[in-house]
């Protein structure tokens, strides 16, 4: 299975070709409810009105996993380890990374938010950014 970060979902929705090709080749797609929030809140700040339920259906093939207490504790533990070496992540990014780690799946991103060697020790990360 493949765990998608917000950046990949957004690129997919705006038809970034390499991202669309990659996503379409995957059998099972997961994300976090945090990523669903990030994608949809971007729609709220965009021009005009947006049907949020329809927009969610635009990436409906991607199953969202709940962010729960177990994942929250793991996110804090990981953040503490990264903080000790001076490479902490933004809180939401750490929550997404911990969510991906909880499934054991590869975290796929298309931005620089997860570029840290220390995190790669805990989560398999693929960056589709050109």
Of residues 130 and 55, which shows the higher confidence score? 55
**Residue 51 backbone phi and psi in degrees, to 5:** -85, 100
Containing structural domain, residue 96: 2-127
pLDDT tens digits along 62-102 = 999 999 999 999 999 999 999 999 999 999 999 999 999 99
Decide if 4 contacts 61 (C-beta within 8 A). Answer: no
Tell me what pLDDT residue 45 has.
82
Mean of per-residue pLDDT scores for the chain: 93
* pTM confidence score: 0.93
Which of 24-28, 47-51, 113-117 has the lowest average pLDDT? 47-51
End-to-end CA distance of the chain: 22
Per the structure, the count of domains in the chain is 1
DSSP character at residue 110: S
What percentage of residues in the chain have a pLDDT greater than 90? Answer: 82
Q: Is residue 130's pLDDT more than 70? A: no
Q: By three-state DSSP, how is residue 67 classified?
A: coil
The domain spanning residue 40 has which CATH number? 3.40.50.1010
Q: Is residue 46's pLDDT more than 90? A: no
Outline where DSSP puts E strands in the chain. 2-4, 29-32, 62-65, 106-109, 125-127
Tell me what pLDDT residue 108 has.
97
């Amino acid at each position: 299975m493949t765990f998608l970060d917000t950046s990949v979902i957004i690129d997919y929705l705006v038809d970034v070709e390499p991202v669309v090709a990659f996503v379409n080749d995957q059998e099972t797609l997961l994300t976090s409810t945090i990523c669903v929030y990030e994608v949809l809140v971007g729609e709220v700040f965009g021009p005009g009105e947006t049907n949020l339920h329809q927009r969610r259906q635009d990436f409906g093939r991607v199953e969202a996993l709940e962010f729960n207490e177990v994942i929250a504790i793991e996110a804090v533990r990981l953040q503490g380890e990264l903080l000790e070496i001076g490479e902490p992540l933004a809180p939401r990014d750490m929550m997404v990374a911990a969510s991906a780690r909880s499934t054991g799946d590869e975290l796929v991103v298309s931005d620089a938010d997860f570029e840290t060697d220390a995190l790669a020790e805990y989560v398999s990360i693929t960056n589709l950014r050109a």
